[in-house]
Amino acid sequence: MSKIIVLIGAPGAGKGTQARLLEEKRGIPQISTGDMFREMKKADTPLAREVQETMAAGNLISDDLTYKIVKERTARADCQNDYILDGYPRTAVQAAQLEDLASEQNKTIQAIEIDVPRAELLKRLTGRRSCSVCGEIYNIYSKPPKQDNVCDFHPETTLTHRADDNEESVGTRLANYDEQTKPLLEYYEKSGRLEKIDGTRELQQIYADLDKLI
Ligand code: AMP
C-alpha cells in the first residue's frame, strides 16, 4: 500500500527544504500547500487577492479551499504512489479531511515531526531567502547562496524574502502553529503514526534520518 508522508513542523523548521530533497533524491513528489497558494495569489482575481491578504498577515486559508487544492493536486498521475505533504494538514478539520482522502486513495498516512526550538526558528525565518524561479530555499546564516543574494541556479535572479517572513506575521504564524497544528502531533502519536526528527542538525543529517524512516 502506498503512503502519504505528512511533514509537520513550525514555520522555519525545514519542511520545505527536506521535502524538496526527498523529491530530488527519491522522486517522491512534494506537495506544498504554501507553494500552491503563493502561485495562486499571482492571479488577478478576488480570490487571489483574498489569498494574498490572508497569507501576508500570517493567517491560515480556509480548510475547504485548502482541501480542494490538495485533492485536485493529488489526483494527478504523479501522486499515484507515495507523495509528501509539506504544510498540510494544519488544523484538526484538515486532518479529518485527509483521513477521507487517504481512504479514497487507498493510502496510509505516515506523519513525521521536524522539531526545532523557538529561538532557532526566529533566526531561520528572518534569514530565509528563496529563488522566485526554481523555489530553491537559502538562509543568509546557515545556507547562503554561492554569490550574495542571487540563486546558484539562476544567477540572473535576485533572491526574495517572503512577504510573510516579517516579525509580525511570523508571530501570528507561530501562534497559529501552537494553537492549531501542534495538537495534530498528539493525534498522530495516539494512532501510532508519528515519528520525530531532531531538526536542529545539519541539513544532510536530517535528510539521512528522514530517508531511513520513509
Ligand atoms: P508555508 O509555505 O507552508 O509556510 O505556508 C505559507 C502560508 O500559506 C501560510 O502561512 C498560510 O497562509 C497558507 N497555507 C499553507 N498551507 C496551509 C494549510 N494547510 N492551511 C491553511 N493555510 C495554509
Cα–Cα dist 40/58, whole Å: 16
Q: Is 169 in the pocket of ligand 1 (CB under 6 A)?
A: no
pLDDT at 123: 84
State if pTM tops 0.85: yes
Q: Is 37 in the pocket of ligand 1 (CB under 6 A)?
A: yes
Q: How far is the CA of 212 from the centre of ligand 1 (A)?
A: 27
pLDDT at 37: 96
| Cβ(16)–Cβ(93) below 8 Å | no
Each residue's pLDDT tens digit, 45-76: 999 999 999 999 999 999 999 999 999 999 99
Each domain of the chain, given as residue ranges in start order, spans 3-116+175-213
Cα–Cα dist 142/127, whole Å: 8
pLDDT at 200: 95
Calculate the CA dihedral of residues 21, 25, 30, 35 and round it to 10 degrees.
40
Which residue ranges in the chain fall short of pLDDT 50?
none
**Architecture of the CATH domain 3-116+175-213:** 3-Layer(aba) Sandwich (3.40)
Is 162 part of the annotated catalytic residue set? yes
| Cβ(200)–Cβ(119) below 8 Å | no
**Matching residue, cell 504523479:** 78
| Cβ(169)–Cβ(56) below 8 Å | yes
